[in-house]
Amino acid sequence: MRARDLGIVCDGTPGKLNAITDVPGLEVGMVTLISGEGELVPDKGPVRTGVTAILPVGRDRMQQAIPAGIYSLNGNGEMTGSHWISETGGLSGPIMLTNTHAVGTVHRGVIEWVKQNNPQAAMEWLLPVVAETWDGYLNDINGPHVTTQHAITAIDLAKNGEVLEGSFGGGTGMNCYSFKGGNGTASRAVDFGGKEYVVGAFLQANFGDRKELRITGIDMSDLDVPNPMADSTWIEKDKSRIAPGGAGSVIAVIATNAPLLPDQCRALARRVPLGLARTGTAGGHFSGDIFLAFSTANPGPLSSGFPTLPRHDAKLSTLDFIPWNYLDAFYTAVVQSVEEAVLNALVNNVTMIGRDGNVSHAIPHDQIKLRLAAR
């Protein structure tokens, strides 16, 4: 069940799947790790985590750089490879999402995948893009549960079509507005020059305080689920507690098949906070809110490998792009798809119990329906 199945009406026209995979050629793969229950045993579990791989142009053209841009609303987080994207305007390879303490392992996993599948590319240099959010409320985050093989498998499993939302892949152990969070995706169709393009969003949502939550403008801050955070002694008294709010981070990946320049991709990434704000968040100091946007329309010209020709034999490269004064519709598509992706992450989910009996409650569908009906 997704947000629209509850009667939540979001603005804009979605793509066929209402997912980031509406962008042609884009593939998503996930590995989900769930095991153990009860008290935390360091390095043993319980485990509630995983890895997500997003391949902008599929496996065959993975090393061809595409235009990309990054924006950080709040920097309490990590996205490796970001400096090179800012330097060159190009993104190559997969985008990997996992938990905070598995970034290094997944980074190495990408290198191992390239070594196995494209040895020549590995002989130059690799700066994989790996981003994270913190799942330590439910997961034994310090344990070595994510391996390089999990990263490799996530890449190998990547495909187009429907995307797993909620508690899968890197989003397995995440919380959003103190409800169960994780993966959310949505898309919007945009017409330009007689052609229909797609803007898609994928979020690893692990942010927001319960008191902030709004759904299509309706206050949802007091939905009736246990909230022992109101009691200063709740840790000792109640093991069925909820996720703390206001921290944890959100990674947003924005994709489009519309031809854009790197600075235009960065402009799309800067619109992500407007979509997040529609759901209530003001952004928090302890939340790493980092956003990456890219265009799949011009693979290759921004690649920065070692030169293969003498300078006098090399040729100019060109990029097609939509004129700046026609980008407003694409900005709007980002805002709309990000808002709905957050709601899908909340709605398309289930309650999860993690380490030490910590509980992340699924958002109550019945109460949302009642409030929407009473609007």
Q: Pick left, alpha or beta for residue 208 (phi over 0 → left; psi -120 to 50 → alpha; otherwise beta).
A: left
Q: How many domains does the chain have?
A: 1
- C-alpha distances out from residue 299 to 99, 145, 191, 258, 317, Å: 29, 35, 22, 12, 11
Give domain status of residue 211, yes or no.
yes
Q: Does position 190 have pLDDT exceeding 60, yes or no?
A: yes
For 27-44, what is the mean pLDDT? 98
- pLDDT value at residue 232: 38
What is the per-residue pLDDT across 67-88, written as a single tens digit (0 to 9) for each? 999 999 999 999 999 999 999 9
308 is a domain residue: no
pLDDT digits (tens, 9 = 90+) for 248-306: 899 999 999 999 999 999 999 999 999 999 999 999 999 999 999 999 999 889 988 77
Kindly report the CATH number assigned to the domain that includes residue 52: 3.60.70.12
Across the range 30-51, mean pLDDT stands at: 98
pLDDT(228) > 70: no
- 314 part of a folded domain: no
Residue 178 CA from chain centroid, whole number: 18
Residue 171 lies in a domain: yes
Is 316 part of a structural domain of the chain? Answer: no
170 contacts 205 by C-beta, under 8 angstroms: no
Average pLDDT, the chain: 93
Range of the domain at 208: 3-303+322-373
pLDDT at residue number 303: 86
User: pTM value?
Assistant: 0.95
Task: Say if residue 25's pLDDT is above 70.
Answer: yes
Residue with tokens 């009691």: 231
The DSSP symbol for 361 reads P
What region, left, alpha or beta, does residue 178 occupy, with left being phi > 0 and alpha being psi -120 to 50 degrees?
Answer: left
Higher pLDDT, 101 or 298: 101
> Which residues partner with 294 through β-bridges?
68, 255
As a whole number, mean pLDDT of residues 91-96 equals: 97
- Run of H or E residues at 180: strand 179-180
Whether the pLDDT of residue 239 is over 60: the answer is no
Catalytically active residues, by annotation = 249, 287, 289
Compute the distance between CA of residue 291 and CA of residue 77 in angstroms, rounded to an integer: 11
Look-up: residue for tokens 């030490």?
A: 356
Q: Read out DSSP for 186-251?
A: EEEEEEETTEEEEEEEEEEE----GGG-EETTEE-TT-SS--GGGSTTHHHH-SS--PPSS-S-EE
Mean pLDDT value across residues 226-247: 52
What are the φ and ψ backbone dihedral angles of 13, each rounded to 5 degrees? -105, 115
CA atoms of 124 and 371, how far apart (whole Å):
56
pLDDT at res. 226:
58
Residues 100-113, mean pLDDT to the nearest whole number: 98
Instruction: Kindly state whether residue 311 falls inside one of the protein's structural domains.
Output: no
Contact 63, 93 (CB under 8 A): yes
Residue 121 has pLDDT above 90, yes or no: no
In a domain, 340, yes or no: yes
- Position with higher pLDDT, 301 vs 50: 50
The answer to the question of residue 90 being in a domain is yes
